Amino acid sequence: MSGRRGSGGGMNGGGMNKETQSIVVALLGGLLLSITLSGRFTSYVRPGFAPLLLIGGGILVVVGVLSLILAIRADVRADRARKVVPAGTAGTPASDAGTDQVADAHGHDHSTSRAPWLILLPVLVLLLVAPPALGADAVARNASSQGLAGYDVVAQEPAGSKDGAGASPGGYKFNDGSGSATDSKGSRRTMHFPPLEGSDPSLTIKELVLRALYDADNSVQDKAVTVTGFIAPAGDGYSGGYTIARMVISCCAADANPMQLHVAGEAPLPSNTWVNAVVTVVPDTATLENGYVPTITLSSMTTTNQPDDPYEH
C-alpha cells in the first residue's frame, strides 16, 4: 500500500512519526527545566512560578521518554511480525496492522502530523536566542498612570482601622475609601506603610512611588532611599529630563507595566543602562498631568548589572 511507513519509523509526507514527536516533547520539557534551573525564566514569568515550571518540565521529559520507548518497542514488534510472513504473501499481518501507520482508501496517511514541528520552533528559538528583559522601549509603549498601581506592596491595614474608611481591591485601607491619589476636592488619599530604618534604605521603585503618593506618614519626604532600575526617556507630561524605571509584572512579561521616577537634566548614561541610585522624592511633583510620576533629586548613581530578576512584582 502506498504511503506506508517502513521499518524503523520513517517519515511520511512531511509529517512527524511518533518517535520524533516524543523527542520534541522531551526537548520541550528539558528546555523548561534548563531555563528554570539557570534562572532565565525570570525574564518571562514571576519567580514564584519556578516550582510549576520544574514540575511541568519534568512531566514532559518523562512523557516524552516513555512515549519514545513505547514507539520503538512497537516498531521492533512490527519488524519481527513482517519477518515471519512468507515471501509473496498478500496483506499485512495482524500484529503489524496495529503498529503501522493507517492509510485511507486513497493512500493518504493520517497518523502523522505537522503540528509537532510548530512545537519545535519555540524550543529552538529559546535554545538559540535569549530575549532580553523588557526595557526603555517597553516603558514608552506601556506608560500609564501610576496612581494606585501596585498597591499590594504595602502593609495591609488592620481590619477596623479608625482611618480606614474604605478598602482598595487588595484589602488596603484608604482614609476615605477612594481609589485615586486625590479626590474631587484635591485632598490626598493615604495608607500606612512600614517605617523606614537606617541610612539610604533600599526600596523598589514601585514602593517608592506608592509611598510618595499615599503614605500618611510621609516616610519618603526628605528621606534619601536607594533604588535599582534602568535609564529610560522622560515620561508623558515632562518636556525634558529622563526617568529611572522598572517594569512590574503580575503574572508574566505580557502584562508588564512600568513604574518611573523622573530626573531633571540630561541623562548621564544611555537608555537601558541599569543603575543603583540614591534619590529623594520632591514633594507634590506627581500629578494627574504627568501620570503620577514623581520627580526625584539624585544624590548618587552607579552602574550595575541587570538583576537576576529584572522585574518587580
What number of CA atoms fall less than 13 Å from residue 254's CA on the CB side? Answer: 1
What CA–CA distance (Å, rounded) separates 1 from 81?
17
The beta strand positions in the chain, using DSSP E, are 166-167, 173-174, 225-233, 242-248, 257-263, 274-281, 295-303
> pLDDT for 63-76, tens place per residue?
989 998 998 888 88
What angle do the packed helices 18-37 and 115-128 form, to 10 degrees?
Answer: 30
From the list 212, 242, 239, 216, the residue with the least C-alpha distance to 225 is 212
- 182 or 177, higher pLDDT: 182
Amino acid in the structure at residue 189: R
- 81 or 225, higher pLDDT: 225
Answer for the pair 211, 203: CB distance below 8 angstroms, yes or no. yes
Q: Residue 60: what are its φ and ψ, rounded to 5°?
A: -65, -40
Instruction: Name the band, by pLDDT with cuts 50, 70 and 90, for residue 204.
Output: very high
User: What is the average pLDDT across 136-161?
Assistant: 56
> pLDDT for 236-294, tens place per residue?
777 889 999 999 887 877 778 899 999 999 999 999 999 999 999 999 898 888 888 99
- 187 or 183, higher pLDDT: 187
Q: Residue 261: what are its φ and ψ, rounded to 5°?
A: -125, 125
pLDDT value for 216: 86
Strand 274-281 vs strand 225-233: parallel, antiparallel, or unpaired?
A: antiparallel
Answer for the pair 139, 311: CB distance below 8 angstroms, yes or no. no
> How many other β-carbons are positioned within 10 Å of the β-carbon of residue 259?
26
What CA–CA distance (Å, rounded) separates 310 from 40?
10
Angle 301-302-307 from CA coordinates, rounded to 5°: 115
Residues 57-77 as b/e (b if ≥16 CB within 10 A, e otherwise) read beebbeebeebbeebeebbee
pLDDT value for 89: 54
> pLDDT for 40-62, tens place per residue?
787 787 778 889 989 998 999 99
Question: Is the model's pTM score more than 0.85?
Answer: no
- 147 or 155, higher pLDDT: 147
pLDDT above 70 (res 5): no
